[in-house]
Each structure stands twice: as structure tokens, then as C-alpha cells.
Amino acid sequence: MEELFNTTELNEMKEQISLLRRKLEKETIVNEKLIRASMRDKLKAVKRESYILCAVVIAAIPLWASPIFDYHSMWFKGVTIAFLFIAVAYEIYCNQLLSTQNYGNGNLIDEARKLSRYKQLGRQWHWFSIPFLCIWLPWFVYEATTAAGFFAKFVLIGGLIGGVIGGTVGLTIYRKGQNTVSEVIEQIEELTEEKE
């Protein structure tokens, strides 16, 4: 009789443990889905801010071609417009690595590689853009002071204010995007470590 009682208790305990395991597995799956959704939402925000910045830059291109900047040479305006187009094209190319489709149930290791590549391309852009701007800025000042005449002071002040605002906004968006991508990479690493 006592053996029957122990066997019944043992079977009940096994069933409870089994039930507990199923509940824990479901909770883990729900947590993983929430984490994946969070990663997807973070990357969507990075892409959205990047595309807004691209739209602002594209809107500035016709401004450079307008008569407002006629005191600049055609070469200067052409180089400036070409740089802006290259910047937008490069940003759009980099944003292709931020695909958010595979975060529902795709391979996160591949996504982590893409995100690492995105960060690397962002850093590489500075190897081109900073030297370009170091040449462009003195060229802008030279053209503004020689051709703008009376308005040279206003052009330089406007250019300085625009440059500081644009540089600050661009750097802020860049850093925020890089930090967000780093957070997502860390989350992917945590998820993949838990599975192993």
C-alpha cells in the first residue's frame, strides 16, 4: 500500500515538473519574441531617422542649384551637389543592411553580421567625408569672400550657423544609430548564448 502511495506521489510530481517545464518553455518563447520585436522596432527607428535626414539633404540639393548661390562658381556648386548625392546614395546603401524582416523568426547570427557591417560602413564614411569637408569648407569661405562682395559677411555667418546645426544634427543621428545598432548586436549575442 505504501509503495502504491509513493508511486502515485512520484507520478504526480513528474506531471507537475513536466507542466512547469512546458510553462517555462512558453515563457522563454514569449520573451524571445518580445526581444526580437524590440530589436526590429529599434532598427526601424534608426532607418526612419536616416531616411528623414536623407530627405532633408535631397531637399537641399535644389537650393544649391538655385540663384541664391550664384556667387559660387559652377564647379563649387557641382562638387557640392555631387557630394550630397553621394552621401544620400551611401546612406541608402547602408540602410539596406538594416532589414527588419528576419527578426520575427529568422537567423539572428546573419543579422548580427549585417549590423556589424553597417557599423563598419558608417565609420568608413568618415574616411571620405571628413577630408572632403576639410577641403570644401575653405573653398566655400574663399568663394564667399571673393564673389559675394557686400554679402560675404552674411554668407559666412549663415554658412557657419548652417554648418554647425547640420553637423550637430548629423553627428547626433549617427551616434544614436550606432549606439542602437550596438544594443541590438548585444541582444542578439545574449539570445544566441542562451540557446547554446
User: What does the pLDDT look like over 47-97, one tens digit per residue?
Assistant: 888 888 899 889 988 888 887 777 778 898 899 999 999 999 999 999 888
Comparing C-alpha atoms, which of 43, 39, 41 is closest to residue 189? 39
34 pLDDT higher than 90: no
4 pLDDT higher than 60: no
Q: Is residue 175 part of a domain?
A: yes
Q: How many domains does the chain have?
A: 1
Q: According to the model, what pLDDT value does residue 25 have?
A: 63
Backbone angles phi, psi at 91, to 5 degrees: -65, -40
Backbone angles phi, psi at 97, to 5 degrees: -80, -10
Q: Is residue 170 part of a domain?
A: yes
118 pLDDT higher than 70: yes
Q: Is residue 3 part of a domain?
A: no
Direct distance between the N- and C-terminal alpha carbons of the chain, in angstroms, rounded to an integer: 45
28 pLDDT higher than 80: no
Q: Is residue 118 part of a domain?
A: yes
Q: Is residue 5 part of a domain?
A: no
Residue 9 DSSP SS3: helix
**At CB < 8 A and 24+ separation, what contacts does 94-97 make?**
94/50, 94/118, 94/121, 94/122, 94/125, 95/47, 95/50, 95/51, 97/121
pLDDT, averaged across the chain: 80
Q: Is residue 111 part of a domain?
A: yes
Q: Is residue 2 part of a domain?
A: no
Q: Which domain range does residue 92 map to?
A: 15-195
Q: Is residue 131 part of a domain?
A: yes
Work out the pLDDT band at 44, boundaries 50, 70, 90.
confident
Residue for grid cell 505504501: 2
